[in-house]
Structure 1
Amino acid sequence: MSALNQSLDQCRQCAALFRLGRDVEAALAMVDVFEQAQQHLSAAAADVQQAWAQILMHMLDCQERQDWLGLADFMEYELAELLESARR
């Protein structure tokens, strides 16, 4: 399994933990997900990096509001899609 596929799986698993209400466990896993995403996206085009910064800002805002379902949505859909676009 490639590193990017592994990151996508971790992203979706973390989102599932948030959906299940396991926010403490998910928040710990989220740190690793964000670090890996940053590594994958650091060499991407400027527009992709800008999108990453916006998504990250939205996710951190969700975390601050304790909007776990919103955070899960951003991780499972927006971040996963952005990581997929970095593959191309």
Structure 2
Amino acid sequence: MSALGQCQDQCRQCAALFRLGRDVEAALTMVDVFEQAQQRLATASMDVQQMWAQVLMQMLTCQERQDWLGLADYMEYELVELLENAGR
């Protein structure tokens, strides 16, 4: 599996933990997921980097509100798609 595919799988797994109510475990995993995503997106176009900044802010806002389902949605859909676009 490619590094990109692995990162996308980790996004989905972390989102699943949030959906299962395992927010402490998911939050710890999320830090690693964000670091890997940052590494993948650091060399992407400026448009992708700006979208990453927006998605990251939205995810952190969800975390602050303890909106675990919203955070899971951003990780599973928005972040995975962003990583996919950056990989092209």
Give the TM bin, normalised by the shorter chain.
over 0.9
Distance 1:77 1:70 in 2: 11
The residue aligned with 1:21 is: 21
Return the offset for 1:87: 1.0
The residue aligned with 1:80 is: 80
Return the TM-score normalized by structure 2.
Answer: 0.99
State the superposition RMSD in angstroms.
0.3
5+ unaligned residues in a row in structure 1: which ranges? none
Q: How many residues align?
A: 88
For 2:60, give the aligned amino acid: L
Return the TM-score normalized by structure 1.
Answer: 0.99
Once the two structures are superposed, residues 16-41 of structure 1 have per-residue CA deviations (whole angstroms, 9 ceiling, x without a partner) of 00000000000000000000000000
Distance 2:41 2:6 in 1: 15
5+ unaligned residues in a row in structure 2: which ranges? none
**% identity of equivalent residues:** 81
Q: Detail structure 1 runs of 4+ shifted over 4 Å in the superposition.
A: none
Distance 1:62 1:69 in 2: 9
The residue aligned with 1:5 is: 5
Once the two structures are superposed, residues 1-29 of structure 1 have per-residue CA deviations (whole angstroms, 9 ceiling, x without a partner) of 11111000000000000000000000000
